[in-house]
């Protein structure tokens, strides 16, 4: 199975502070890869490199390669706007736009100048179905998105990302702001989604990682300490630091 991303010798600096140190990893397609580790160790930073969202932070400087679809997307010449249509993102706090549910889902398509009503309607339904939200909202697509519950809003954000038909979905702690029931629904959804999309998820909960991911990478202080099959990492960790984290001795 080919890789979705191959990262070679990636280093990232916020001004003088180094946030990512010599990251080397391969991320497989159609799998769920989890990034775990204590706060501030670089998991979200690395995630944001994969869709060049770090560009929005002015003091950021990067070295190294990120290969996606045989191209190094860490170079300046890349069309980042187009990259983001292929690598979607879901954020920690659900952030639907102050528009109707329908307009939220097709927002990205509108930005690509797609105007055909039939296409838009079809994509809307497909995406909402895939996000397991269609049945709940099919009768109120024109209602304001803010009327949905937290869990529903997050699934809306997932539908919105799926509508772009990305190859990869990045998820930055997608359930940390939700209650356990909503969390369970989304974890179920992720298991369905990995059939069609590569999923990379940053999570604070190693239990979540153990539940839903195929591969896991353990981060500490900007470095990847260990990465491998989730079962192996959790049951027979190779590095003592990994073992300490998993058994709860710190973090």
Partner 1 sequence: MRKLNIKDIILDGLTYLFSSVSILILITIFIFIFQRGFSSLNLGLFTSPYWSQNYYGTIPESNRIFESDVNFDKNEFYSEKYGIALKDDFNARNEVIVVISYIHPDSPFNQLINASSGINEGKLIVAEEGMIVNKISYITSNGITRSAGPVLKQNAEETIKTINQSIQLDSAFIQTQGGGIMGSLIATLMLIFISLAISLPIGIMTAIYLNEYAKYGRFTPWIRSSIELLTGVPSIVFGLMGVLVLFPITAIFGANGTSIFLGGLTLSIILLPTIIRTTEESLKVVPDSFREASHSLGANHSQTIFKIIIPAALPGILTATILSIGRIIGESAALIYTMGTYISDKPELLKGATSLAVQIWSIMNGDQPNFGLASAISIIILVIVLGMNIGVKVLTRSKVKQW
Partner 2 sequence: MNNLSNEYKKLNIFKTYQDLFFKSLFFVSAVISSLMIIIIILFIAQKGISPFLSNYQYGQQNIASFLTGMVWRQDQAIYGVAFIIINTLISGFASLLVAFPISVLTALFVVKIAPKPIGNLIESAIEILASIPSVVYGVFAVGFIVPFIQNLANLLRIQTAGGSSLLAVILLLSIMILPTITSISITAIKAVDIDLEKASYALGASKTQTNFKIVLNSAKSGIFAGAILGLGRAFGEATAVSMVAGNKMFGPTFNLFDITRTMTSTMLAGLKETTGLDYDIRFSVGLVLMGVILISNLAINFVKNRIGKNHA
Pair type for strands 198-202 and 168-172: parallel
Length of the chain: 251
Rounded Cα–Cα distance for residues 165 and 198 (Å): 12
Is 116 among the residues that bind partner 1 (CB under 8 A)? Answer: no
Nearer residue to partner 2 within complex by CB, 87 or 224: 87
Q: What does the block give as tokens for 183?
A: 């969390």
Rounded Cα–Cα distance for residues 30 and 1 (Å): 9
Is 70 among the residues that bind partner 1 (CB under 8 A)? Answer: no
Shortest Å, Cβ 84 to partner 1: 11
Q: Which does 110 bind (CB under 5 to 8 A by kind): partner 1, partner 2, none?
A: partner 2
> Given the rule CB under 8 A, which residues bind partner 2?
51, 53, 56, 81-85, 88-89, 91, 93, 95-100, 103, 107-108, 110-112, 142-145, 157, 160-161, 164
Rounded Cα–Cα distance for residues 247 and 13 (Å): 31
Kindly indicate which of the ranges 79-87, 146-154, 182-190, 194-202 contains the residues binding partner 1, using the contact rule CB under 8 A.
79-87
Residue with tokens 């679809």: 69
Nearer residue to partner 2 within complex by CB, 72 or 100: 100
Nearer residue to partner 2 within complex by CB, 103 or 226: 103
Spatial neighbors of 146 by CB under 8 A, at least 6 apart, are 96, 98, 153
Shortest Å, Cβ 9 to partner 1: 28
Shortest Å, Cβ 82 to partner 1: 5
Shortest Å, Cβ 89 to partner 2: 4
Contact 233, 21 (CB under 8 A): no
Cite the beta strand spans of the chain per DSSP E.
Answer: 3-14, 17-28, 32-36, 60-68, 71-72, 87-90, 168-172, 198-202, 215-220, 223-229
Spatial neighbors of 121 by CB under 8 A, at least 6 apart, are none
Is 81 among the residues that bind partner 1 (CB under 8 A)? Answer: yes
Shortest Å, Cβ 98 to partner 2: 5
Q: How far is CA 161 from CA 20, 95, 158, 245, in A?
A: 27, 12, 5, 32
Shortest Å, Cβ 42 to partner 2: 19
Interacting residue with partner 1 among 55, 63, 69, 79 (CB under 8 A): 79
Pair type for strands 223-229 and 215-220: antiparallel
Interacting residue with partner 1 among 39, 59, 113, 118 (CB under 8 A): 113
Q: Which does 113 bind (CB under 5 to 8 A by kind): partner 2, partner 1, none?
A: partner 1
Q: Which does 88 bind (CB under 5 to 8 A by kind): partner 2, partner 1, none?
A: partner 2
Which spans of this chain sit near partner 1 (rule: CB under 8 A)? 79, 81-82, 112-113
């Amino acid at each position: 199975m080919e890789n979705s991303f191959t990262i070679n010798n990636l280093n990232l600096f916020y001004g003088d502070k180094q946030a990512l140190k010599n990251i080397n990893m391969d991320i497989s397609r159609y799998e769920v890869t989890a990034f775990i580790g204590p706060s501030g160790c670089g998991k979200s930073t690395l995630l944001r490199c994969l869709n060049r969202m770090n560009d929005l932070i002015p003091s950021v400087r990067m070295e190294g390669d990120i290969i996606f679809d045989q191209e190094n997307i860490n170079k300046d010449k890349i069309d980042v706007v187009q990259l983001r249509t292929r690598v979607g993102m879901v954020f920690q706090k659900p952030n639907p736009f102050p528009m109707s549910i329908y307009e939220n889902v097709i927002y990205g398509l509108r930005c690509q100048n797609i105007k055909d009503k039939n296409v838009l309607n079809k994509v809307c339904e497909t995406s909402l179905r895939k996000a397991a939200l269609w049945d709940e909202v099919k009768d109120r697509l024109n209602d304001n998105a803010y009327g949905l519950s937290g869990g529903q809003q997050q699934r809306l954000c997932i539908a919105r990302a799926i509508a772009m038909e990305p190859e990869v979905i990045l998820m930055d702690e997608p359930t940390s702001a939700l209650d356990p029931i909503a969390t369970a629904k989304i974890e179920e959804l992720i298991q369905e989604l990995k059939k069609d999309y590569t999923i990379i998820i940053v999570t604070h909960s190693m239990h979540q990682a153990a539940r839903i991911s195929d591969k896991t990478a353990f981060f500490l202080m900007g470095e990847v300490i260990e990465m491998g099959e989730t079962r192996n990492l959790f049951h027979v960790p190779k590095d003592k630091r990994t073992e300490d984290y998993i058994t709860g001795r710190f973090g």
